[in-house]
Structures are given as structure tokens and as C-alpha cells.
Amino acid sequence: MADDGGLDRARLGALVFADPAERARLERILHPRMVAEVERRLDEWRRGGGAAVAVIDAAILFELGLDRLCAETVTVEAAVEQQVARLMASRGMQEGDARARIAVQAGGAARRARADRAIDNDGAPSELAQRVRAWWGDLIARHGVARSEDPT
């Protein structure tokens, strides 16, 4: 538990990413709940007459099997060294911890093989934003959406 009474994500991450059995145990607890929540939100969106396009933003989309709910899947890819550096900078992770987290996700080639489109994220944040806007513009045009919010 963190000092504020909330979940100590760093400590939990250190435990489960160092021990495959503990990670599998946590996944058995969390993954069904995560999938159920995404399904619930999509159902609510459909019943509410939501926008023409819904986006599921999930780093482990394929691992959870959520791609079965998607008409199109997109993966945002960066080189492992870039991912490690970003996790260390943004979350204060040690290099080994960052690499352990990256290792449990489907890798670039496996994810690209399953995704309908890949967007490169090795550059600056502004470059990624430009690529995402281009993909979004293409997506909404294909779905006949007249107006949309900026996805970035």
C-alpha cells in the first residue's frame, strides 16, 4: 500500500514482473475484470447512441483478446531501447524493471502481425501526434463521420 492509502504500483510491479507465477496469479484476477469492464463500456456506448467510432486504448489488447471486439486494430510501436528510456524517464523505473514490463507484452513483430495498422513512435511526441491525426482522419473518413474531436 502506498503512503496515501492507494495501490503502490511500483511495489506491486516489482513483485509481479519479477515472478512469473505471481504475475500469472494477478492476471487471472485482473484480466477477466478488465475485459468485462471494456465490454460493459462498449455496451453502454452502443445503447447510448455513441459516436460512430469507439477506441479501445489498451497496451495488452491482443493479450486480453479484446481485438475480437475491434473492426480495426492499430499498434503504436517504438524500439525497445526507446520504450525503456521512456519508462525510466516518465515513471522513474529502474532499467531492469522497465525491460521486465516490456518483455511480458506481445513484441513488435507479433503485434504487427495481428494489427491492421502500425504507427511508428520512435520520434518526438509531435511526430506521433501527426501520425495519429493522419490515421484518425483516414478512419473517420472511411466510416463517414463528418466531424470528430482530435484524438491526441
DSSP three-state, residue 147: coil
CB 115 within 8 A of CB 71: no
Q: Where are the domains of the chain?
A: 9-142
Return the number of other C-beta atoms located less than 10 Å from residue 48's C-beta.
8
Better-predicted residue by pLDDT, 59 or 89 = 89
Most confident of 1-5, 6-10, 112-116: 112-116
Q: Indicate the pLDDT class of residue 148, thresholds 50, 70 and 90.
A: low
CATH 3.30.470.10 correct for 9-142: no
Percent composition of the chain: helix, strand, coil (DSSP 3-state, to 5): 60, 5, 35
Which residue in this structure is represented by grid cell 500469472? 24
Q: Show Cβ contacts of residue 42 under 8 Å, excluding neighbours closer than 6 positions.
A: 54, 56, 69
The pLDDT of residue 149 = 62
- The one-letter amino acid at 41: R
Q: What is the pTM of this model?
A: 0.77
CA distances from 102 to 73, 77, 116, 151 (A): 20, 12, 21, 25
Is a pLDDT exceeding 70 seen at residue 11? Answer: yes
CB 131 within 8 A of CB 49: no
